[in-house]
């Protein structure tokens, strides 16, 4: 849940794609809105209500390589958002694109930091998660 990192990566890519200011902001927002599932997990799954404790928990879990069930990070959800955005409008597609960039940045970060997608690969697909559970 590195909000600034994901926002910057997304707006830089959107800028390089020569999108206008509103479009750049939407891609940036998509890159951080996906992490709302972290908040849901921490509040409802871990029963942590303090922002300070939540940040500490998240950092510890990442360091220990302990992934969790973050429902917006499943590729199936991202695919559904692609389909929905196709039928809604360009702005919805830009938010989807921000989600996708975030998802890819996470995968690259795990490969760089841990030299592997394990154990996170299980949490990248709802189908894979349910089969491996």
Domain residue limits, the chain = 3-132
pTM: 0.85
The helix or strand, by DSSP H or E, that contains position 56, with its residue range, turns out to be helix 51-63
Using DSSP's 3-state secondary structure scheme, residue 34 falls into: coil
Angle, vertex CA 55, rays to CA 52 and CA 58, nearest 5: 150
What average pLDDT does this structure show over 59-85? Answer: 87
- pLDDT tens for 93-115 read 999 999 999 999 988 887 887 77
Percentage of the chain beyond pLDDT 70 is 96
The pLDDT value recorded for residue 133 is 65
What average pLDDT does this structure show over 16-43? Answer: 95
Q: Which residue has the higher pLDDT, 67 or 28?
A: 28
What CA–CA distance (Å, rounded) separates 21 from 102? 19
Does the pLDDT at position 1 exceed 60?
no
What CA–CA distance (Å, rounded) separates 10 from 125? 22
Q: Which of 114, 116, 46, 110 is nearest to 55 (CA)?
A: 46
Q: Per-residue confidence at 44, pLDDT binned at 50, 70, 90?
A: very high
What CA–CA distance (Å, rounded) separates 12 from 20? 12
Count of other CB atoms within 10 angstroms of residue 20? 9
Look up residue 42 and give its DSSP letter. I
Give the distance, in angstroms, between the CA of residue 91 and the centroid of all CA atoms in the same chain: 18
The pLDDT value recorded for residue 128 is 82
């Amino acid at each position: 849940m590195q909000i600034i990192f994901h926002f910057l990566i997304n707006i830089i890519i959107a800028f390089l794609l020569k999108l206008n200011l509103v479009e750049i902001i939407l891609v940036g927002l998509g890159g951080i809105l996906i992490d709302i599932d972290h908040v849901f997990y921490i509040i409802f799954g871990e029963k942590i209500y303090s922002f300070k404790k939540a940040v500490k928990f998240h950092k510890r879990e990442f360091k220990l390589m302990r992934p969790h069930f973050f429902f917006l990070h499943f590729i199936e959800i991202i695919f559904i958002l692609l389909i929905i955005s196709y039928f809604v409008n360009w702005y919805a597609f830009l938010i989807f694109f921000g989600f996708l960039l975030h998802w890819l940045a996470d995968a690259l970060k795990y490969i760089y930091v841990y030299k592997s997608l394990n154990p996170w690969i299980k949490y990248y697909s709802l189908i894979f998660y349910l089969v491996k559970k």
